[in-house]
Amino acid sequence: MRLFKSQILTLLTAINFLTSTTNAIDLDITSKTSICNAASLIAGGILDYYEGTTYGGTVGMFSQPYYWWESGGAFGGLIDFQFFCDNDTYDEIIYNALMAQKGSGNNYIPANQSTTEGNDDQGFWGLTVMEATERNFTNPPSGEPGWLALSQAVFNTMWARWETDSCGGGLRWQIFTWNSGYSYKNTISTACLFAMATRLARYTGNETYIDVAETAFQWLTDIDFIGLSGDTYRVYDGAQIGTNCTEITQIQWSYNFALLMSGSAYAYNFTEDTVWLTRVNDLLNGASIFFENDIMYEQACQGTTKGCNTDQRSFKAYLSRSLGQTMKLVPSTQSTIQTYLETSAQAAADTCNGGRDGHTCGQNWLLKTYDNMYGLGEQMSALEVILSLLTEQSPAPYTNNTGGSSTGDASAGLSSIRGSSSLTGTDVTVTGKDKAGSGVITAIVLAVLTGGAVWMIV
């Protein structure tokens, strides 16, 4: 039989139509099976960027241009996937990644990330290992520090870098003096410390962590990185210490709201102090800037001519996860948040009809169809917003008394701070001779940074 060109074209179109409709994500937000089917397809898309299972790839890292911190964020989403959907497909990959990247000091400061790792980067891995703690993820063998101890090490090393010499407190963006951004204090670094503190308090029942959380939150308010207007918070990016943090970069990112809001929710759930409830509500009000017709979007970059950079494209993932945590821990927020999550999840799923596999997710959920913007951040965001629909029917994050089984160590990481061989910002003292050396390192770092994608914003 001979086919004419037009017949072939019709056939091809039909085949394409059939395959793409069977592959596209069809989400019923009321069905756990449907949610988990969607999540499993999207999680598969995340793993397409993973290099840890390919020959010569690094365990725990995603391919270029994804930085180390974003890998940390991605594994947090995969931990939630295995927990919410009872699907252990990726357990070994997650476990190996968390173990491979903890570094020789067991504190998520691996020496080979020292040209890029900032406080926020360490913080994102810290939040992921905290997720492992609260989700009772497969524990490391005895003899190795548990997820809780690793979380405590992240907290302890970050808190040791709290610095009052400039701006009256806060964390610098960078850990290492040689990295550009060392002279910038920012909300996200401080918010990571804050969120670690509130979660450790709730998990362990140790009040000391709440004192640190209060100090961090208070500082952010005093310095006006968090600004109250009526009962709505604005959350800004940060400021240079050269101005003693008086000239604030007023851009508002969803991940800052995410960590401050869910951290406040953990703090309220643990302390039942209404100060924290007010903060949760005011942050939730402020976060309305990230929604249009209840659909989530990254208002500072999405749809602008400049667009969102690689990092920013993953921010909706953290806002989604944090909204789920918040409504679980502060039930009075549930109706507002549920509307946001359901509308956003449906819109996100509608964008997951692109790419060669037919279910690659797009960036702009407002469009409700694939926009040709694809990547790790798009997959992570869609995964987390869809998974968050299972929050209500799933257990709350465990604590040491309600199902968690992780081994802790309240002083984890502290010896590495005192040890002279460690690479923490606090003990890097630049002497006259080292200065030339650090200049060279800075030059190399800058060359690397400008050669690749530019790190975060500023």
Ligand X SMILES: *[C@@H]1O[C@H](CO)[C@@H](O)[C@H](O)[C@H]1NC(C)=O
Contact between 57 and ligand X by CB under 6 A: the answer reads no
Is the Cβ of residue 147 or residue 178 nearer to ligand X in the bound state?
A: 147
Could you give the CA distance from residue 350 to residue 55 in angstroms, rounded to a whole number? Answer: 34
What 8-state DSSP symbol labels residue 330?
S
CB 270 within 8 A of CB 214: no
CB 56 within 8 A of CB 297: no
Could you give the CA distance from residue 256 to residue 342 in angstroms, rounded to a whole number? Answer: 22
Interacting residue with ligand X among 89, 114, 232, 285 (CB under 6 A): 89
Cβ of residue 202: shortest distance to ligand X, in angstroms?
Answer: 9
With the C-alpha atoms ordered 246, 252, 255, 259, is the resulting torsion angle positive or negative?
Answer: positive
Only one residue has tokens 């725990």, namely: 60
Of the candidate spans 184-192, 279-287, 401-409, 416-424, the one that interacts with ligand X by CB under 6 A turns out to be: 401-409
Of the candidate spans 15-23, 289-297, 383-391, 395-403, the one that interacts with ligand X by CB under 6 A turns out to be: 395-403
Number of chain residues interacting with ligand X (CB under 6 A):
32
Contact between 452 and ligand X by CB under 6 A: the answer reads no
Measured distance between the N- and C-terminal CA atoms of the chain, rounded to whole angstroms: 64
CB 171 within 8 A of CB 119: yes
Is the Cβ of residue 67 or residue 290 nearer to ligand X in the bound state?
A: 67
Contact between 437 and ligand X by CB under 6 A: the answer reads no
**For residue 373, what are the CA distances in angstroms to 74, 254, 363, 382, 448?**
18, 19, 6, 13, 25
What 8-state DSSP symbol labels residue 50?
B
Of the candidate spans 3-11, 290-298, 405-413, 442-450, the one that interacts with ligand X by CB under 6 A turns out to be: 405-413
Could you give the CA distance from residue 368 to residue 347 in angstroms, rounded to a whole number? Answer: 5
Fill in the per-residue mask, 226 to 245: x = in contact with ligand X (CB under 6 A), - = not in contact: ------------------x-
Could you give the CA distance from residue 256 to residue 139 in angstroms, rounded to a whole number? Answer: 30
Fill in the per-residue mask, 103 to 142: x = in contact with ligand X (CB under 6 A), - = not in contact: x------x-x-----------------------x------
Q: CA 260 from chain center: how many Å?
A: 12
284 closest CA partner among 219, 360, 339 = 339
Cβ of residue 222: shortest distance to ligand X, in angstroms?
Answer: 6
Which residues between 190 and 229 bind ligand X (CB under 6 A)?
204, 206, 208, 223
Is the Cβ of residue 185 or residue 313 nearer to ligand X in the bound state?
A: 185
Could you give the CA distance from residue 187 to residue 301 in angstroms, rounded to a whole number? Answer: 18
Is the Cβ of residue 36 or residue 98 nearer to ligand X in the bound state?
A: 36
Contact between 345 and ligand X by CB under 6 A: the answer reads no
Contact between 87 and ligand X by CB under 6 A: the answer reads yes
Fill in the per-residue mask, 240 to 279: x = in contact with ligand X (CB under 6 A), - = not in contact: ----x------------------------x--x-------
Contact between 327 and ligand X by CB under 6 A: the answer reads no
Of the candidate spans 8-16, 323-331, 421-429, 446-454, the one that interacts with ligand X by CB under 6 A turns out to be: 323-331
Which helix (H) or strand (E) covers residue 219, if one does?
Answer: helix 208-222
Query: Backbone dihedral region of 317: left (phi > 0), alpha (psi from -120 to 50 degrees) or beta?
Result: alpha
Burial of 416 (0-12, 13-18, 19+ CB in 10 A): buried
Cβ of residue 245: shortest distance to ligand X, in angstroms?
Answer: 6
Is the Cβ of residue 25 or residue 223 nearer to ligand X in the bound state?
A: 223
Contact between 328 and ligand X by CB under 6 A: the answer reads yes
Only one residue has tokens 């951290």, namely: 263
Which residues between 143 and 172 bind ligand X (CB under 6 A)?
167-168
Contact between 330 and ligand X by CB under 6 A: the answer reads yes
Q: Phi, psi at residue 221, to the nearest 5°?
A: -75, -45
The residue ranges that bind ligand X (CB under 6 A) are 36, 40, 43-44, 58-59, 87, 89, 100, 103, 110, 112, 136, 167-168, 204, 206, 208, 223, 244, 269, 272, 328-331, 396, 400, 403, 405, 408, 410
